[in-house]
Structure 1
């Protein structure tokens, strides 16, 4: 399957896919990024973050502005590629990226911090089927079915499940009868829950967060496989960010766990804090990308 391709379906699934396409189109309207006000720090956010938590983003922005003493703007995008393009254009200073784009961007970005998820800087890809589906209990059982991917630049929602199929000795391009992208991990869960896909793969952080804040979203699906651990989606800095700004932002993010306001925000983010990481933490992702000839 080529990146971004959507299969033609009939019935309810086709109508649902049409809604996804319309949603993606309207979400992109009015999102042109112009020149920032002088001194404004621009932080890109991808679907690794739950984009519907607007009040949380507003409070986090206010916190960062107070700590940095500078204006901060969150730039949200619904597709990983859009955030990557903004980094290429030099329109972002920092970004919370999926680990796959982080490796893909190579020297364009520097590792700033790695979030702590349940006390550790790791997460997994979760393989899902419908809650009532007791026939499928592994990736092998999904052969010939319909599968929902999150985004073509998502590790847990695209790269990892395809690599899992390779481990089975099968071709990811022919393993499923049909596949499509939902453009968000939450919508993968919804697709599986509503029966519009036999299976799907999602980010464990998004799943765990939704279980806390929207258990009605996750109750229609169940986990049948968990991947090995991968280093958590990192915060990265554009290579043009001056060293002094890099160090200030890194200090502020790491210091969130040291003050009450920061700890409250971390709780709402479903994170425990941030640490200084090493680029080598993402070698397992690079290995999977290399298997597909991507690096």
Structure 2
């Protein structure tokens, strides 16, 4: 083979190698998963989270994919196992996952969460102790309002009561209004934000201590450089109107750095086994 032909062949091979590089890089690019607690329909979560995930991917220089779930049990199973890199979860669910995988909370909204117990305005019950042996309507067994309110009732008020899981805040309110339940328990913010017109129908008889809101957390295997980039990107979004819209859509309003000990160690005092037994009765 002549030198000219060899040179020509080498140029062709070099061109093909360079052409293949982008495809090789794409094939080996690490894809980070972000598990989202299913507190809304999957189609709504996808719409709300996609702009933020795309922005995070660009700014942090990584590829992030959403992982959505139909059921909370599936979400909990995944996050307790070794299946996701980032997660956004209710504080009680984050704590359960932390116990298994030591997730690192990066950012949370600056708002605090608080449960409340309420009765109809014409109810004969005026104190929490009056609800002994009565039925309290709650959204669901694993919702944060359910966990912190039942924990407060059992440990602080030390009363026995029956639980009716109603599926949504509006159903809890309706159950109390029509007399299917003697009292209801929700997050105070849920009633204020979603059904303000109903507040005049009820009388609040207990509020729980405040707890920190949902964290955006990372598995410890995620490199610190990437964790720091994600944290900075989320915090920086609060500096622009468009960024604040993205944060509001995913309920990370006015984000601040999260801290496990300060924000979520509270749940170490919650007897989750006891609450699980109550829900199975």
Q: Shared fold (TM-score greater than 0.5)?
A: yes
Name the CA shift for 1:236/1:271 in 2 (closer, same or farther; >3 Å).
closer
| Corresponding position: 1:168 with 2:157 | yes
Q: Shift of the alpha carbon at 1:113?
A: 1.6
* CA root-mean-square deviation: 3.5
Higher helix share: 2
- Separation in structure 2 between the aligned mates of residue 287 and residue 182 of structure 1, nearest angstrom: 26
Gaps of 5+ in 1: 1-36
- Return the match for 1:75 from 44, 67, 82: 67
Gaps of 5+ in 2: 1-27, 277-281
| Corresponding position: 1:113 with 2:107 | yes
| Corresponding position: 1:199 with 2:180 | no
Secondary structure of residue in 1 paired with 2:164 = strand
- Separation in structure 2 between the aligned mates of residue 194 and residue 38 of structure 1, nearest angstrom: 56
Secondary structure of residue in 1 paired with 2:271 = helix
Query: In structure 1, what is the equivalent of residue 129 of structure 2?
Result: 140
The answer to whether the 8 Å contact 1:78/1:184 transfers is: no
Of the structure 1 ranges 105-114 and 220-229, higher mean CA displacement relative to structure 2 is found in: 220-229
How does the TM-score come out when normalised to structure 2? Answer: 0.70
Secondary structure of residue in 2 paired with 1:228 = coil
Query: In structure 1, what is the equivalent of residue 212 of structure 2?
Result: 231
The answer to whether the 8 Å contact 1:47/1:184 transfers is: no
- Separation in structure 2 between the aligned mates of residue 76 and residue 186 of structure 1, nearest angstrom: 24
The answer to whether the 8 Å contact 2:116/2:149 transfers is: no
Q: Shift of the alpha carbon at 1:85?
A: 0.7
The answer to whether the 8 Å contact 2:85/2:222 transfers is: yes
Secondary structure of residue in 2 paired with 1:153 = coil
Alignment of 1:36-75 (within 5 A): 39-47=30-38, 53-54=44-45, 55-75=47-67
